[in-house]
């Protein structure tokens, strides 16, 4: 990634879609490959993981491919959709109404409640496509899980089949499904989905987080599940217009999340291991949480979101693959065109390296799915509208609501805005910009600046109007402690341009000079 170049968000989503679609195995009903990585310095084959390809990654494929299609307007082959839908539906059994499959070793059916979230997301996407089977299984699964919860949200395992496996902590089991359930309610209007999301939220707030927002032991150690449940609870608060819930979960974002997330969005995979193996999946959900807080009215969290995007999520996307093998004549699908197929994926980065060690995976399917989810939500948040006018919340190029933004960040502080809507514009100005240094021209003429807190107001009196906003790109150096190591970071606005100590394997950034 060229860090000074203006960002084409849509291009990054398309690259993610490339990795998702080409990470499917066409010889096996388009079952997702789990990952691809290195051994002894050589890129190995795409590989499957067995049961979890089916019960976890099929749903991840359906969810993220559906989101990327809607964001880009591209259409994935219907044969792929049919295979994925059939694989997802085949997980369900009339005997338990839950998504399960055969254990790799014993062949016995197992259900892992971790995957309630994944299946809900997948069923949401299939319902959006008009799949009646998905609507039926969505209702049945949600009611089965609801019946297993006491009225305080406590899971009663004896109400579920004995082959529900490996239960540990609520956020990494059924609790992580809050966001998928809220999305399900928006799509289906199923009141039980909303009730279930509320019960899971009540349990998590009572048992897993302190009133001040700190993590309790019962929160568990799975970073992705924690970021997912925080995003889900925020979405529930916005949907239900619950200010008390919103403030309670905001405290978790402010106090609990920094324990395992850096200021720029690197997110620890496993809290109990405490080493710099991150997970771009986690970063995608941290990004969604920041966006939701921005939509709730705290504009400074849009700045968090932009810093997460520019500082880590976009740089952690695997794009530069020219040094990797890409043999089009390979007949073994797991070795066929590996470089071009993995391009656009995500995995387990450190703060400044794509690989924690030389033999790490370089792209992982479920992680790519979660990162693409975050990118799609960010893309839809760049330009929004409300009673005050049309807001430009994130300073990326985009066109929506009758407004076209061309952003030159982080190369230079320049925004060009064409407004054909007739509505006022509110453009978020970053906190690192001195408002006195902002210059505004409308239709070529210098214009008085009106600031409404973080937003620069441009009236919609002239139709169409052409505005140019300029400001200096401020550079600074910070030092941040991550996993007991100090990282020196050079910034240009919200963009990281260098970081030390230097990456050892596949650097995201050059070292600081």
For 351-384, the DSSP string reads SSBS-SSTT-EEEEHHHHHHHHHHHHHHHHHSEE
Give residue for tokens 């609801």: 146
In which domain, by residue range, is 258 found? 18-381
Q: Are residues 176 and 42 in the same domain?
A: yes
Question: Which CATH number fits the domain that encloses residue 335?
Answer: 1.50.10.10
Gap between the Cα atoms of 328 and 324, Å rounded = 13
**What is the per-residue pLDDT across 147-187, written as a single tens digit (0 to 9) for each?**
999 999 999 999 999 999 878 899 999 999 999 999 999 99
- What is the tens place of the pLDDT at every residue in 335-358? 999 999 999 999 999 999 999 999
pLDDT at 3 over 80: no
Please determine, for residue 430, whether its predicted confidence score (pLDDT) is greater than 70: yes
According to the model, what pLDDT value does residue 167 have? 87
Q: Is residue 138 part of a domain?
A: yes
Phi, psi of 491 (to 5 degrees): -115, 150
| pLDDT range class, residue 315, cuts 50, 70, 90 | very high
Residue 200 has pLDDT above 90, yes or no: yes
Asked whether 430 and 491 are in contact (CB, 8 A), the reply is no
> Is residue 375 located within the same domain as residue 393?
no
Residue 511: CB atoms within 10 Å = 14
Same domain, 293 and 145: yes
Measured CA to CA, the distance from residue 152 to residue 201 in angstroms comes to 10
CATH of the domain at 391: 2.60.40
pLDDT given at position 412: 96
pLDDT higher than 70, residue 2: no
Our count of domains for the chain comes to 2
**Residues 193, 81 share a domain:** yes
Q: pLDDT exceeding 90 applies to what percent of the chain?
A: 96
H/E stretch holding 475: strand 475-482
Mean pLDDT of 102-131: 96
The separation between CA 447 and the C-alpha centre of its own chain, rounded to angstroms, equals 38
Shared-domain flag, residues 271 and 418: no
| Three-class SS state of 320 | coil
Question: Is residue 157 in a domain?
Answer: yes
pTM above 0.85, yes or no: yes
Give yes or no: residues 362 and 398 share one domain. Answer: no
**Is the pLDDT score of 233 beyond 70?**
yes
* Mean pLDDT score, 203-229: 97
Instruction: Find the mean pLDDT for residues 289-296.
Output: 98
Q: Evaluate whether 404 touches 418 at the Cβ level (below 8 Å).
A: yes
Name the percent of the chain lying above pLDDT 70. 99
pLDDT tens digits along 454-505: 999 999 777 889 999 999 999 999 999 999 999 999 999 999 999 999 999 9
| Whether 265 contacts 227, CB under 8 Å | no
Average pLDDT of the chain is 96
| Residue finishing a domain among 351, 381, 411 | 381
| Residue 425 included in any domain | yes
What band does 321 get if pLDDT is binned at 50, 70 and 90? very high
- For residues 221-231, one letter each, b for 16 or more C-beta atoms within 10 angstroms of the residue's C-beta and e for the rest, the string is bbbbbbbbbbb
């Amino acid at each position: 990634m060229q860090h000074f170049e203006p960002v084409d968000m849509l291009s990054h989503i398309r690259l993610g879609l490339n990795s998702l679609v080409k990470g499917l195995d066409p010889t096996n009903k388009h079952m997702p490959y789990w990952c691809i990585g290195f051994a002894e310095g050589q890129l190995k084959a795409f590989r499957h993981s067995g049961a979890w390809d089916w019960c976890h990654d099929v749903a991840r494929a359906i969810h993220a491919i559906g989101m990327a299609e809607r964001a880009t307007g591209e259409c994935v082959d219907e044969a792929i959709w049919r295979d994925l839908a059939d694989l997802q539906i085949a997980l369900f059994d009339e005997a338990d109404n839950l998504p399960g499959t055969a254990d790799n070793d014993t062949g016995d059916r197992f259900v892992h409640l971790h995957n309630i979230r994944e299946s809900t997301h997948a069923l949401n996407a299939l319902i959006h496509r008009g799949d009646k089977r998905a609507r039926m299984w969505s209702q049945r699964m949600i009611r089965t899980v609801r019946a297993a919860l006491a009225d305080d949200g406590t899971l009663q395992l004896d109400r579920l089949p004995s082959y529900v496996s490996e239960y540990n902590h609520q956020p990494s089991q059924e609790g992580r499904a809050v966001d998928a359930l809220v999305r399900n309610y928006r799509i289906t209007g199923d009141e039980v989905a909303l009730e279930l999301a509320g019960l899971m939220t009540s349990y998590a707030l009572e048992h897993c987080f302190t009133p001040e927002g700190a993590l309790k032991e019962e929160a568990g150690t799975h970073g992705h599940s924690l970021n997912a449940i925080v995003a889900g609870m925020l979405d529930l608060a916005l949907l239900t217009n619950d200010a008390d819930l919103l403030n309670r979960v905001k405290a978790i974002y402010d106090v609990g999340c920094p324990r395992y997330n850096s200021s720029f969005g690197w997110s620890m995979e496993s809290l109990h291991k405490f080493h710099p193996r991150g997970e771009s999946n986690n970063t995608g959900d941290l990004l969604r949480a920041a966006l939701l807080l921005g939509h709730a009215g705290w504009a400074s969290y849009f700045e968090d979101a932009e810093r997460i995007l520019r500082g880590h999520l976009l740089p952690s996307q695997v794009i530069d693959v020219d040094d990797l093998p890409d043999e089009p004549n390979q007949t073994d699908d797991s070795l066929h065109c590996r470089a071009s197929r993995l391009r656009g994926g995500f995995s387990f980065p450190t703060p400044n390296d794509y690989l924690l060690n030389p033999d790490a995976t370089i792209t992982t399917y479920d992680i790519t799915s979660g990162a693409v989810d975050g990118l799609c939500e960010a893309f839809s948040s760049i330009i929004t509208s409300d009673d005050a006018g049309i807001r430009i919340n994130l300073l990326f190029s985009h066109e929506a609501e009758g407004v076209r933004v061309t952003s030159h960040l982080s190369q230079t502080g320049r925004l060009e805005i064409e407004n054909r809507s007739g509505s006022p514009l509110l453009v978020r100005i970053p906190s690192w910009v001195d408002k006195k240094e902002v210059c505004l021209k409308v239709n070529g003429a210098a214009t008085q600046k009106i600031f409404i807190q973080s937003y620069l107001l441009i009236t919609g009196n002239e139709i169409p109007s052409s505005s140019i906003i300029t400001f200096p790109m401020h550079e600074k150096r910070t030092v941040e402690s991550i996993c007991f190591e100090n990282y020196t970071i050079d910034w240009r606005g919200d963009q990281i341009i260098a970081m030390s100590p230097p990456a050892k394997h596949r650097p995201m950034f050059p070292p600081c000079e």
